[in-house]
Amino acid sequence: MSKNRFIPFSRPWIDETEIAAVSEVLASQWISTGAKVREFERAFAEYIGVKHAIAVSSCTAALHLSLVATGIGSGDEVITTPYTFTATAEAIRYVGARPVFVDIDERTLNMDIANIEAAITPRTKAILPVHIAGLPCDMTALQALCRKHNLALIDDAAHAIPAAYNGRYIGSLGDVSAFSFYANKNLTTAEGGMITTNSDALAAPLRTMRLHGIDRDAWARQSRRSIWRYDITTEGYKYNMTDIQAAMGLCQLMKLNKQHERRRHFTQIYQTELAKFAEIRLPFFPANPREHAWHLYIIQLLSHDRDAFIDAMRAADIECSVHYIPLHLFRFYQEQYGYREGDFPRAEAAFERVVSLPLHPGLTEADVRAVIAAICKFLGG
Ligand SMILES: Cc1ncc(COP(=O)(O)O)c(C=O)c1O
């Protein structure tokens, strides 16, 4: 038996508060979309500082609906990063559009904005940046590019809560933003997502489309008792969130700043203690105007084998991960869109070097120091 405490890469931060809130919803017998979802949407919109928040079943659903609502469809092109989870590009494919990848900035791991203009064609309809690991993209530059070329700005904010740019939270700066509440995210509802927008014109169809295009959901119908009749006013999807998820989300929202403080504290220890290793590139640590959400802490190994590093950490009971295998290296993206190895050399180079170290609010300072000690041992420091 191992004498080390196993240090997981990620864990949700759940306590009695969520358990009680979920139990209360179960006891109420109203378990699908209802009053809790509405309450969660209002609280989330207020937190982000945005007019509308629309709760959905996942970030993938949020991205899909955002693309539909902004009128993107078959034959259109959407510029995004290959350095992301497949959901980002998968949603572009849902609407029949083509994901056009541009290479990344190796320091930030975000899409390199300098590469975007060359990728714009008459078919381009939107830019879909991802705030990788929680580091906000340069939203001022992206907004200017979108204005100049009349493109929608839809940001994948799956990692970016609470991340801020120029004093405003991510989620309030694009035309539409998509958040993930998947189990490993900074705010989790097990599965779930949220769309945020300041646009009334986009919010209305988004609300309707997330539940079959029905003009009034079951909660609204039952609240008015006798009104059972409804109309289908637009195309629809089965993307609604349940009250069980929303009850959990409300608790997680209350803890969001606290969990962020813990993530930031652990990040600062990593950053200070690992700075002595010339063979490690530390994550880009932004100063104003960017506030990092620290969803992931991604280091780059400049002169050691990444896989050997992960194996050595695993032998020390420390779980690490890799974010991301660039999408253009997957068979599906190669067969579907003709992408090839070599197309995005900076994304490929980063992929060979990256390791995501354990980072979550349930860690202790001793855990973080154990990770650092294991890294020291591996690097012979
Ligand atoms: C960058 C990014 N976008 C989108 C998603 C999809 O989120 P969900 O699982 O909520 O659909 C993820 C999930 O991990 C992600 O990391």
Q: For 181, left (φ over 0), alpha (ψ -120 to 50), or beta?
A: alpha
Closest C-alpha residue for ligand 1 atom 16: 85
Closest residue by Cα to residue 5 from 319, 308, 324 = 319
Rounded to the nearest angstrom, the gap between the alpha carbon of residue 39 and the centroid of all alpha carbons in its chain is 22
Question: Which residue out of 3, 185, 238, 255 is catalytically annotated?
Answer: 185
Total residue count of the chain as it appears in this document? 381
pLDDT of residue 1: 45
Q: Give the model's pLDDT for residue 21.
A: 98
Domain 16-254's class? Answer: alpha beta
Question: What is the token pair recorded at 110?
Answer: 């975000």
258 is catalytic: no
CA 328 to centroid of ligand 1, rounded, Å: 17
Residue 278's Cβ-count burial label (10 Å; 0-12, 13-18, 19+) is exposed
Q: What is the pLDDT of residue 228?
A: 80
- From ligand 1's centre to the CA of 180, what distance in Å? 6
CATH 3.90.1150.10 residue spans of the chain:
256-379
Report strand pairing: 98-101 vs 124-128.
Answer: unpaired
Q: Which atom of ligand 1 is nearest to the CA of 84?
A: 1
Residue 48 makes CB contacts below 8 A (sequence gap 6+) with: 169, 171, 172, 196
Output the residue whose Cα is nearest ligand 1's atom 14.
85
Q: For residues 190 and 245, what is the distance between their CA atoms, to the nearest angstrom?
A: 7
CA dist 102 and 173 (Å) reads: 21
Which residue among 56, 58, 60 has the greatest number of ligand 1 atoms within 8 angstroms of its CB, and so is best to mutate? 60
- Write the DSSP assignment of 287-354 as a string of letters: -TTEE---S-EEEEESSS-HHHHHHHHHHTTB--B-----GGGSHHHHHHH---TTSSHHHHHHHHHE
User: What is the distance in A from the centroid of ligand 1 to the CA of 59?
Assistant: 6
200-209 helix and 59-69 helix, angle to the nearest 10 degrees: 120
Ligand 1 neighbours by CB, cut-off 6 Å: 58-60, 84-85, 87-88, 130, 156, 158-159, 180, 182, 193
pLDDT score for 226: 57
Query: Which atom of ligand 1 is found nearest the CA of 61?
Result: 11
DSSP state of 15: -
Positions of the chain with pLDDT lower than 50, given as ranges: 1
Q: Check residue 288 and give its pLDDT.
A: 72
pLDDT tens column, 116-149? 999 999 999 999 999 999 999 999 999 999 999 9
Query: Which helix (H) or strand (E) element contains residue 369?
Result: helix 365-379
Domain ranges in the chain with CATH number 3.40.640.10 = 16-254
Q: What is the pLDDT of residue 381?
A: 61
pLDDT for the residue 111: 98
Q: If you classify domain 256-379 with CATH, what class do you get?
A: alpha beta
**Beta-sheet pairing, 98-101 with 354-357:** unpaired
Q: In the 8-state DSSP scheme, what is residue 186?
A: S
